[in-house]
A = this chain, B = another copy of it.
Amino acid sequence: MTPTDIPSGRSAAVPTPVPGDPRLARLSLNQKTVDSLGVADAIALCVTAGLRSIGLWREPVRAFGVVETAKLVADAGLRVSSLCRGGFFTSADEEHWAAALADNKRAIEEAATLGADCLVLVAGGLPPGSRDLPSARGRVAEAIGRLVPFARAHRVRLALEPMHPIYTADRGVCATLAEALDLAEHFPVQDVGVVVDSFHVWWDPQLAEQVHRAGDRIAGVQLADWITPLPPDALLSRGMLGDGHIDLRGFIELTGHAGYRGDVEVEIFNADVWSADPHEVVATIRRRYVQHVA
């Protein structure tokens, strides 16, 4: 584990916190940040780095086995801060709609097996050829209503994630925290919450007001930075903590003032981060987290 940095020139003098450093108590690694690793290696990496929590993704979990992953996580003494992800509710086609609901029920079962704090839901984009954003948003509301009883029976909390408006067309029609809360507030707070990711919401003029409003609805918090120039692939445009323009400490303080005390996942979709040595990535995250967040 070499504590090299993704260069920013600002953190050279900051030592990497040792495992057990109390400032890392809430830091969780979303496994997408180390996309090249399977579940077992990602869990082992968290343990080596002294992290107490991991955010899991369905595809690698299913590849390894859901029950097997749950056992590995438990044996490692890790919390599962979230399972990513359900959602993609916007199809206008009956067959796809039914398939989406069925797949989300499987995701709920998986989250229950894993003991995940929440199941992250991404709304989904506009259906192919459609320009009807209000209707797509309506289908998201309807789908959540259909899933809540099933989720409640499995004691899984659904967590709707507002996505940056760069993704409204093709990934997530739920574009603001206010919109996510408008949806969530139709349901009991223990059944439906929201995930607040700095990358997705940092620009919002209503951020402070809406995080305050969210309060106990905050089911999860994720961090990535907004970097410029924006990388050419919009999906992989998230930056390492401290490399960009977001006041990450201020963001976490907002969630704290709203009452959130849970895990803070670092989730970075970025080709450079994905091609780096995962141990170095996690060393950088630990150092940057102390420098910019904790």
List residues of A whose CB falls within 8 A of some B CB.
126, 130-133, 137, 164-166, 168-170, 175-176, 178-179, 182, 202-206, 226, 228-230, 232-234, 244-247, 250
Contact = CB atoms under 8 A, between A and B. Distances in A.
A178 B203 CA distance: 13
A203 B1 CA distance: 43
A249 to B, nearest CB: 9
Nearest to A164: B165
Contact of A203 (B175, B226, B228): B175
26 contacts: A126-B245, A130-B245, A131-B246, A133-B202, A133-B247, A164-B165, A165-B165, A165-B203, A166-B166, A168-B202, A169-B203, A169-B226, A169-B244, A170-B228, A170-B229, A170-B245, A175-B203, A175-B204, A175-B205, A176-B204, A178-B205, A178-B206, A179-B205, A229-B234, A230-B234, A232-B233
A137 B179 contact: no
Contacts of A206: 178
A291 to B, nearest CB: 13
